[in-house]
Structure 1
């Protein structure tokens, strides 16, 4: 039922009761027991599994204390039955429950209507947590003027209908004077109906999640069940119920947003140790990274979005090796060809040679026989790039060069050269650095978040800004290449992907206390991406069938992101 229908239905009743968990309050995690996983991760006791001991303690307490007159156990009784090594974890559980519970704003609208209409509000729940703890959480969440009925206090359950009967008796009302709002079919509807109480069922985030995303539920229940995964899926389930998603927003929210947050949390921790003054986010990957960091830090640190396209990195490198490279490797040849094609207009004007009419061998020969000419062009282009950097007014003495990944450190090398005479230290920060035995890693100062491999084409697609490849730039601005049709299609998809990624960042800030000092697992984020890649649905294949991405430095070689899907 929607809110309007619920408000119309309860308008004729003076007494309105609400379920608490998954109705008035929602958890940021997918399942309540996932909080035990978080406690176990943060307060590991050797090889022991707190979640397992905690669940077994509840079962033991039920066996020991429940009988005909006592249908519910208390929080204290549960911890009386737990292994002695976990007694002190009682305080952790209360702390984490409080951290993970938030008001369900869509239902709070109905609650506020009841208060404004001066209805008698009753809150009723099958819950072992102490009354004072739940009352405090409710009040902090903006709920007031209620009477609270808990199974742990009255020793009676909603499930058996006995707690509903207790409410009727204590309020001295008949069942036709009260209406109940809740999310559980059996506990909130069937059990209330057995004693004549009308119920209004809402759909919980979890039930919608289970029905709309069974593959993700299976992934959480049977494959990966760590806290970071539960948090990501819990936020997704809430947002999906509250606002819904378009297809591409969902991709951004689940596959892009979490890895961005994880990477930026690490970046902030590491950069603090390195005493970083300015953050340079590299186009085009840095587009969403900068926006996300500005949100996380509330614009309190200095960030810049800069261009270091690989084609310009190559075209400005006048310190290249001038030895005869007629027997060079494929990678070296590609560099020379990129260099040649970048300066095609200058070559035609100064040397009267049309590069487009030369074959590959002739282009390499041209490069090798006109070295000084190309050296002069590279110096001029490098000076133009330095003018561009100077226009950004970077004033710090130690800057972070932020990119998602690198193979050759091409962009960082360009910035290092440009800043070498200004005594500005450059430290590279990457989500991952790919192994390349031709690159001397010791010649660059850099930090790596994770060496766990991830699907590079998909990762690039998720964070590449909706702007064309760069042709050239100077202090006056950026000059783009013509937009090919593949980029146009990518732009349309990315507008919504970007929105989904920032929605995740905003929800993370909203639902996670002290978000900068938390640690969203990079491994969990990448595993979620891999789960999507390995289990595509029919609609996934349809939506990605027209998505292409250019993986070469000149941005001419467009390929499908997941060619294996279409074999």
Structure 2
């Protein structure tokens, strides 16, 4: 005998087959309407003209339950009650009042509140289906008679509000099942429409997503019908596992976020733009909202965004901010803020720590570059110590290290003190005093610590996307982090720190890094290096950032009507999907990018697995020096492996 599970499986299979063979791509609707020259076009509403910013229409009931608990301060299974009530009524004639009248476990006050709240949630969460709006507009502009027909329990006036709020107007007639006590699914509502509008079925086209109500039923009546897919489009970095996990926690931020992206992302976006809108945008928005709240909580009225990443962060913050906090971009870098302090170094080890020497194969040239030593001085230094510029610092004897430190100290100190004067002048002119916040992507807080040493009388608080506490500093700078630190959201931390270079690349300005400061009369200026990326690569990063800012702007507009705060975990879901593990297509798309960090290196492996089998030392050196290790390993081994976990395990062997 057949089991109920077999019946459900066959029903789902049948639905899939109907959708596969009979559905029409929304992009093709206009051409098909043109071809047949229909005089009347009718549209379904929900999942056709209008999309909800939730994964499933029943999620409205889950949100309703959440709102109920918050307002009435008591627990009741509102979602189940609401679903059960709808199943009990005569769906042909039921409206919202009839549905709630069947719920005996609620009093009149609760029912009235829930009805109004459900309508409010529908209005807040519904939006225009951009693809069908284009079809609707074409029909209107080409003289088609436009009808809107829906099997729905909401009153006609509520439906009209939803349609108008979603950008629709000037339709000819609106038919709602609860108003006429007849449904599309039975075909009866189509009969009523035909009679009232005096229609010829061969001139009439109906468009909708329901297989029975919008396709089979009208077809049975001789009406032309186009079936569209409910989920014709999804995000590239959607995580069903996180959606399920979130539902179990009775939270819905990711549910709303992913649905919003699916409903609003441009289908013309290229790979980098999709990455910006889906992955970077939510992090940017969440950070900006958190920054506004956190700076107010800590009483910080002046925020300084640290270029290069800070330029992008500042743009996003100014979209989200209520303007109660001043925001200023300052051009700084690890190098430009460490150089003014180098004269305080008493040994080579202290000097190397101050310039943040973290990678293998750090040469004498790298040292002199990091200290901003002029060409004329470095020649004298190299002649004095009789070392090659390419000599590896880690391979020098203690005597050679001592000689190098002594020979270079005068030039380092002279340049360092001059840069200390200049950076103080540069930042003082921008109002860097009192109690201030510095904003950056983050990690170790090196620039903040450097600035605190230079500006000892200024109270500096760091506001970062993420931070690590690896650096032990005598300056106890206060800092906060949105996404992760060493004690919270360690999964997000491991995912990002498996390839920090690629994460930072998303936020980088296309300008070069700040290398030093100069003085001209009484004015102080920052000096920038040449850009790291080629012009073509820079264009793609600009597109990515533009799409991310578009998300911030779009989601800000959405939250003006529906207040929802994105948790750090929710904001990081898409990035986790992107990097753990990275796809081979991602490897391909970032193969041409490089990153400048103690020498320019590719983000992916420079050789094949076959090459590394016979050159294991080369593999180890490239791996340790690469700041995008997940991409590096995927580009070598090709197969999908838990690279983030592998990197986390291997990190203990990387003394850098």
Deviation at 1:366? 2.6
Q: Where in structure 2 are the equivalents of 1:189-204 lying within 5 Å? A: 189-202=215-228
TM-score of the superposition, structure 1-length normalised? 0.82
Over residues 206-251 of structure 1, what are the superposed CA-to-partner deviations in whole Å (9 max), with x where a residue is unaligned? 3222xx85x73644665555533223322332245x5332111111
Match of 1:8 in 2: 34
Over residues 126-155 of structure 1, what are the superposed CA-to-partner deviations in whole Å (9 max), with x where a residue is unaligned? 222233221222233342454322223334
Query: What number of residue pairs does the alignment pair up?
Result: 548
Deviation at 1:21? 1.5
1:481 & 1:82 partners in 2: Cα distance?
72
SS in 1 for 2:45: coil
Deviation at 1:162? 2.4
2:59 & 2:517 partners in 1: Cα distance?
50
Shift of the 437–149 alpha-carbon distance from structure 1 to 2, 3 Å rule, reads same
Structure 1: which 5+ runs fail to align? none
Deviation at 1:267? 0.6
Match of 1:505 in 2: 552
Over residues 411-447 of structure 1, what are the superposed CA-to-partner deviations in whole Å (9 max), with x where a residue is unaligned? 11333345446xx543221122213372468x22333
| 1:75 and 2:121 matched | no
1:493 & 1:449 partners in 2: Cα distance?
26
Q: Are 2:38 and 2:144, in contact at CA under 8 Å, matched by a contact in 1?
A: no
Shift of the 327–462 alpha-carbon distance from structure 1 to 2, 3 Å rule, reads closer
Match of 2:424 in 1: 386
SS in 1 for 2:515: strand
Shift of the 521–531 alpha-carbon distance from structure 1 to 2, 3 Å rule, reads same
Over the residues paired in the alignment, what is the CA RMSD in angstroms? 3.9
Shift of the 114–544 alpha-carbon distance from structure 1 to 2, 3 Å rule, reads closer
Shift of the 404–118 alpha-carbon distance from structure 1 to 2, 3 Å rule, reads same
Q: Where in structure 2 are the equivalents of 1:94-493 lying within 5 Å? A: 94-112=119-137, 114-115=139-140, 120-142=145-167, 143-202=169-228, 206-209=231-234, 216=238, 218-219=240-241, 222=244, 224=246, 226-240=251-265, 242-297=266-321, 302-318=326-342, 320-322=344-346, 325=349, 340-343=368-371, 345-346=373-374, 348-349=376-377, 352-354=380-382, 356=389, 359-360=392-393, 361=396, 362-363=400-401, 365-367=403-405, 371=409, 374-391=412-429, 393-394=430-431, 397-407=434-444, 409-420=445-456, 425-436=459-470, 438-439=472-473, 443-451=476-484, 452-453=489-490, 454=493, 455-456=496-497, 457=500, 458-474=502-518, 477-481=525-529, 491-493=538-540
Deviation at 1:479? 3.5
Match of 2:579 in 1: 533
Shift of the 343–429 alpha-carbon distance from structure 1 to 2, 3 Å rule, reads closer
Q: Are 2:441 and 2:465, in contact at CA under 8 Å, matched by a contact in 1?
A: yes
TM-score of the superposition, structure 2-length normalised? 0.72
Over residues 271-327 of structure 1, what are the superposed CA-to-partner deviations in whole Å (9 max), with x where a residue is unaligned? 223343332111222132112223334888643222221122221114745268599
Match of 2:89 in 1: 65
Q: Are 1:311 and 1:339, in contact at CA under 8 Å, matched by a contact in 2?
A: no
Over residues 99-134 of structure 1, what are the superposed CA-to-partner deviations in whole Å (9 max), with x where a residue is unaligned? 111233543344445556665532211222233221
Deviation at 1:402? 0.6
- Which 10-residue stretch deviates more, 133-142 or 249-258? 133-142
Shift of the 328–534 alpha-carbon distance from structure 1 to 2, 3 Å rule, reads closer
Over residues 167-217 of structure 1, what are the superposed CA-to-partner deviations in whole Å (9 max), with x where a residue is unaligned? 22343444335322324444322221111112244555x3222xx85x736
SS in 1 for 2:560: coil
SS in 2 for 1:317: helix
Structure 2: which 5+ runs fail to align? 1-26, 602-624, 638-656
| 1:496 and 2:550 matched | no
